């Protein structure tokens, strides 16, 4: 480690060949090199031509780990980290203090001076082929030698294997994403070990053996993200009378409980990463894409951050989770933990159930009042199998801001922007499958709910269907019917259906 802090202040590395990338990987030998290797693959896929290694970097998360753990070990270890930045442009050394406008910043990764877990706090832009599927990206401002750079990515970090384990890293990814969204206050990595309740488990807290489900949910709650907890085999649906997916008696729920897919998608649509637990591992889902299948429902393929394998990895099949790169089996999923902002009291499943009911009822009333033809009505299209429902949470500020650009008519846009709404709302969209498959605007209606209302009686605020709009005012009076457009529009969410 004698040259760890050299050169001063940085080193520029041209990435012109596979040998250059291999040399960068070899520079940081690790007990488990896969997370670092995957980070380099992501940067390479983004077209990185230059790496800049910022030495003697004082990273808040690593410094917390050093103070709480590494400083107490007998081995000599530096209290500083490296931060490796990636650029699409082939930079010159004399440009570092004044970057050209077309620098093409791709993000950074922090490198710990410990070979047990090299990759610390990391923000790398998704690889282009997966970027449309990543639904939980957040923006972070980076200071690069006095220059402010912006990167949109999903945070990633690897466990250090002693002080923190996979559950700590997964919880930190969810938390740091929320902190960058301004949904909670920032907590450093060490807090996820130091503040875990050691009284609810057997054994010592350091070196850590991981987190139990109770420790995990308590930590997230204490850090301003009270989570919703779902156990495989006991998952809810918008229809409480719906039977569980068919399965053999005694079969492990991880082999058959497909309800996990729609549950995860509701949070990912909202921009919230979700933590998945198996019997011996934890990782984070950060997005999904949809593969249309002729004559069948679309196939959902998730994207994950796995602290032991790296960022932006594909999950081909949730019921038979195998790492495509190695063939290693992850094991059956056992639970889903969804950390959400404190005032998101209403759960998404009752919101979606009520949304479907309200959308159908208002659609039927619109037909009765002659505002839309029966064949174009939302409930008619739903009965014919052309409509599906999509649920997400969003700030009312973002929901209102999107009103004009998403293609709403002037009546709807005006009503949306003037409506009194809480900070967070649940939105249940009616999506025309045919338009979605052809890449057209596909949202034909939506129901908006108060996120602070109860699961037993979700409070509707806005319901729009082809031809008609309903607005509930703060005093409970209802404005209906307001004549509105019949065409489809885009979603207000950051990611489209």
Which residues lie closer than 8 Å to 199 by C-beta, 6 or more apart? none
Q: Are 354 and 458 in contact (CB under 8 A)?
A: yes
Cβ neighbours, 10 Å, residue 190: 22
CA distances from 496 to 72, 155, 307, 429 (A): 49, 22, 28, 11
Look at strands 333-339 and 387-395 and give their pairing: unpaired
Residues in the chain: 497
Q: Which two tokens stand for residue 104?
A: 């093409």
Q: Which residues pair with 338 in a beta bridge?
A: 228
- φ/ψ of 291, rounded to 5, equals -105, 110
What count of other Cβ atoms lies within 10 Å of the Cβ of residue 64? 19
Question: From CA 275, how far away is CA 232, in angstroms rounded?
Answer: 13
Q: CA torsion, points 95, 96, 102, 107, in degrees to nearest 10? A: 160
Question: Which token pair is 362?
Answer: 């208002």
Rounded distance between C-alpha atoms, residue 39 and residue 450, angstroms: 40
Per DSSP, the three-state class of 138 is: strand
pLDDT (0 to 100) of residue 294:
65
158-211 pLDDT, tens per residue?
Answer: 998 777 789 999 999 999 999 999 999 999 999 998 888 777 776 777 766 778
**Can you list the alpha helix ranges (DSSP code H) found in 233-293?**
259-269
What distance lies between CA 39 and its chain's CA centroid?
18
Task: Give, for 55, the enclosing helix (H) or strand (E).
Answer: strand 50-57
For residue 99, which phi and psi values (nearest 5 degrees)?
-70, 145
DSSP string, 7-33: SSSEEEEE--SHHHHHHHHHTS--SS-
pLDDT of residue 83: 98
CB 131, CB 116: distance < 8 Å: no
Dihedral sign for Cα atoms in the order 378, 493, 179, 134 = positive
The per-residue pLDDT for 264 is 97
CB atoms inside a 10 Å sphere around CB 293: 9
Degrees to nearest 5, angle at CA 464 with 461 and 469: 85
Kindly give the parts of the chain with pLDDT less than 50. none
Its pTM stands at 0.95
Ordered DSSP codes for 437-478? HTTS--EEEEEEEETTS-TTS--EEEEEETTEEEEE-TTS-E
- The single-letter DSSP state of residue 255 is G
Q: Cβ(436)–Cβ(426) under 8 Å?
A: no
Alpha carbon distance 425, 396 (integer Å): 6
Q: What is the pLDDT of residue 341?
A: 96
Question: How far apart are alpha carbons 357 and 346 in whole angstroms?
Answer: 17
Instruction: Write the CA distances from 357 to 79, 265, 350, 463, integer angstroms.
Output: 58, 20, 11, 11
Q: Which residue has the tokens 């004082």?
A: 58
Q: Give Rg (Cα) of the chain.
A: 24
CB atoms within 10 A of CB 361: 14
Read off the tokens for 32. Answer: 């488990």
Cβ neighbours of residue 304 closer than 8 Å, sequence gap 6 or more: 276, 283, 284, 285, 286, 313, 314, 315
């Amino acid at each position: 480690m004698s040259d760890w802090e050299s050169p001063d202040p940085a080193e520029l590395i041209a990435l012109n060949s596979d040998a250059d990338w291999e040399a960068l990987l070899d520079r940081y030998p690790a007990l488990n090199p896969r997370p670092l290797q995957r980070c380099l693959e992501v940067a390479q896929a983004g077209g990185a031509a230059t790496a800049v290694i910022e030495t003697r970097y004082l990273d808040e998360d690593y410094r917390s780990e050093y103070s709480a753990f590494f400083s107490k070990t007998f081995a000599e270890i530096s209290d500083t980290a490296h931060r490796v930045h990636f650029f699409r442009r082939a930079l010159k050394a004399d440009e570092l203090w004044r970057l050209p406008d077309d620098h093409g910043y791709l993000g950074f990764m922090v490198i710990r001076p410990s070979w047990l877990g090299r990759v610390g706090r990391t923000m790398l832009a998704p690889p282009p082929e997966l970027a449309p599927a990543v639904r939980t990206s957040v923006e972070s401002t980076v200071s690069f030698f006095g220059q402010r750079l912006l990167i949109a990515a999903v945070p990633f970090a690897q466990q250090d294997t002693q002080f923190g384990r996979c559950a700590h890293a997964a919880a930190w990814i969810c938390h740091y994403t929320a902190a960058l969204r301004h949904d909670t206050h920032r907590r450093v990595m060490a807090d996820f070990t130091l503040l875990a309740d050691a009284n609810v488990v057997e054994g010592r807290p350091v070196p850590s053996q991981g987190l139990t489900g109770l420790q995990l949910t308590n930590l997230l709650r204490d850090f301003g993200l009270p989570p919703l907890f779902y156990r495989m085999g006991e998952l809810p649906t918008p229809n409480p009378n719906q039977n569980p997916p068919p399965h053999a008696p005694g079969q492990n729920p991880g082999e058959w409980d497909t309800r996990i897919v729609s549950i995860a998608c509701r949070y990912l649509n909202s921009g919230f990463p979700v933590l998945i637990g198996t019997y011996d591992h934890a990782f984070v889902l950060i997005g999904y894409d949809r593969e249309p299948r002729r004559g069948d429902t679309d196939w959902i393929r998730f994207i994950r951050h796995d602290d032991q394998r790296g960022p932006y990895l594909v999950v081909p099949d949730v019921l038979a989770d195998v790492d495509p790169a190695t063939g290693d089996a992850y094991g059956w999923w056992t639970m889903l933990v969804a950390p959400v902002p404190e005032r998101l009291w209403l759960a998404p499943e009752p919101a979606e159930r009520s949304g479907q009911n309200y959308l159908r009822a208002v659609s039927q009333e619109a037909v009765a009042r002659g505002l839309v033809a029966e064949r174009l009505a939302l409930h008619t299209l739903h009965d014919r199998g052309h409509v599906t429902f999509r649920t997400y949470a969003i700030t009312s500020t973002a929901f209102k801001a999107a009103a004009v650009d998403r293609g709403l008519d002037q009546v709807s846009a005006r009503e949306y922007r003037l409506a009194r709404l809480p900070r967070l709302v649940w939105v249940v969209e009616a999506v025309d499958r045919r338009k979605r498959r052809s890449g057209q605007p596909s949202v034909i209606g939506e129901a908006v709910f108060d996120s602070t209302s109860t699961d037993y009686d979700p409070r509707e605020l806005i319901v729009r269907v082809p031809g008609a709009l309903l607005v509930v005012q703060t005093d409970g009076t209802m404005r209906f019917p307001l004549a509105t457009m019949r065409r489809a529009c885009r979603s207000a969410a950051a990611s489209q259906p």
